[in-house]
Amino acid sequence: MTALDLSSPVAVVGTGTMGQGIAQVALVAGHPVRLHDAVPGRAREAAAAIGARLDRLVEKGRMTAADRDAARARLTPADGIADLADCALVVEAVLERLDVKQDLFRELEDIVADDCLLATNTSSLSVTAIGGALRHPGRFVGLHFFNPAPLLPLVEVVSGFATDVTSATRAYETARAWGKTPVACADTPGFIVNRIARPFYAEAFAVYEAQGADPATIDAVLRESGGFRMGAFELTDLIGQDVNESVTHSVWQSFFQDVRFTPSLAQRRLVESGRLGRKTGQGWYDYREGAERPEPHTAEPAEAPAYVVAEGDLGPAGELLAMIREAGVQVREEDEDNGTRLVLPSGGQLVLADGQTSVEFRDVVYFDLALDYRGATRIALSASQDTSPRTLAEATGLFQALGKKVSVIGDIPGMIVARAVARIIDLAYDAVAKGVATEEDIDTAMRLGVNYPLGPFEWSRRLGRGWAYALLDDLHLRDPSGRYAPSLALYRHAYATDKREGSTS
């Protein structure tokens, strides 16, 4: 099954931001495009807005004037839905209400030809439920574009329970012909991106709610240590707190209130107060004129230790040993079967976040996961009230000697980056095991859909296949609510690896 022929008309119903964006994508690809909206006059306004964007593309040298004029000639506002009768594809981008979408597609089914592909751009509703209103649901598919549709490459092609393989394949190939990067997924709450991305927000909010760190510090650690383009607080302010919380709540409800997807009470209070982010001038941060952006907590300068004793290879943080030597700090190595720590001159230990808490041990400082310890510009440290001030100072000075800013947070098991990444990896393995999507498509979706520095499976391979399971298992012991319980898929993955390597750890 191949993509739609460029001579085939494409219709977009709903002319808001997403509808206009999808229409522009199809138009620039070469299709005749019909725009329809239930509100009189909206389709013509949308056509004018798309024309203005095409003008800007010409001004920027991204489109020729001739191509713009040809595209404008192919764009037609449709006053009535009957004007869509000859379209080969109709994409819906109307209000996110099941009854509204079902009524629309019932009406469309009476108008378009039997071989017309019908698609929804829903981000939160069930594709199966929307298609269930149709006499012929086999031709119904989800085409979930990301905003802004003309710029972001990802399209989730969602097969409902009754979607024919030929319909899904045609939708997939059409999206690819439009210059997009499609990924195939089953109809599951949140599809790929909105399902697997939940821990990025949830764990940042959980650290804040536990008074482990303030939003500016958490965001700085996610960016400067984790390699994420934006932190969770600034990103949700950009998305809109109401929009982000609505998606979280929808996924949580759709999974029968699964504790792994529980919404944040702190975010709920923010929405209730009307502080929805940039669009209202206040969210987690204050965007009003004259407001100052809060700075992340950064530790004062401390003296680096003269030496450290390395017990083991530090696992995912192994590159730190070479960096410490390069900084002029002596590294004494000791072979330890279970050692993955640095011992400081104080006698205290410096350990990579593992899901345990500092207060459980005599004198331990935890440090957070970094995507790239050489490239990271900030490292978070975690200590308890019982941690020796000297040990914390030596740990701070050591990372400062490596050229890093240091943020000291509360005694939070799994810290910030480590717990978020571990949970993202877990949800990814669970999704593959349940037939939602392939590993490759999940990695592609998370890199392109939400700009993650690595896909979950790429991250898992880099960190070691048992790393996420071990961290979540320790977290689950300390919070037995089920939120951090590793999935059966992750357990099988880690256990099979251990057996193959002859380990029983």
Contacts of 201 (CB under 8 A, 6+ apart): 232, 235, 236, 244, 248, 264, 267
Dig out the tokens for 368 from the structure. Answer: 């957070």
| Total-model pTM | 0.94
**Looking up tokens 């880690």, which residue turns up?**
494
Token look-up 């919070």 returns 479
Question: What's 45-83 look like in SS3?
Answer: HHHHHHHHHHHHHHHCCCCCHHHHHHHHHHEEEECCHHH
Supply the pLDDT for residue 502. Answer: 47
* pLDDT bucket at 497, cuts 50 / 70 / 90: low
pLDDT, average across residues 33-60: 96
Q: Is 62 exposed, middle or buried (0-12, 13-18, 19+ CB in 10 A)?
A: exposed
Give DSSP secondary structure letters for 395-421: HHHHHHHTT-EEEEE---TTTTHHHHH
Q: What is the distance between the alpha carbons of residues 213 and 306, in angstroms, rounded to a whole number?
A: 30
pLDDT tens-digit map of 369-410: 999 999 999 999 999 999 999 999 999 999 999 999 999 999
**pLDDT tens track for 431-460:** 999 999 999 999 999 999 999 999 999 999
Q: Where are the beta strands (DSSP E) in 103-176?
A: 117-120, 140-145, 154-159
**Tokens for 451?**
């700009």
Q: Which residues are catalytic?
A: 123, 144, 156, 194
pLDDT digits (tens, 9 = 90+) for 125-147: 999 999 999 999 999 999 999 99
Token output for 307:
């030496």
- Asked if residue 504 has pLDDT above 50, the reply is no
Question: How far, in Å, are 38, 54, 101, 492, 496 from residue 51 at the CA level?
Answer: 21, 5, 27, 53, 56
348-376 pLDDT per residue, tens: 999 999 999 999 998 999 999 999 999 99
| Structural element, H or E, at residue 499 | helix 488-500
Per the structure block, which two tokens stand in for 121?
């751009």
Question: Mean of the pLDDT values across residues 317-339?
Answer: 89
Residues 22 and 34 sit within 8 Å (Cβ to Cβ) = no
Q: Under 8 Å CB-to-CB from 339, ≥6 apart: which residues?
A: 310, 311, 312
Mean pLDDT of 104-125: 96
Q: Please list the residues that pair with 334 across neighbouring strands.
A: 311
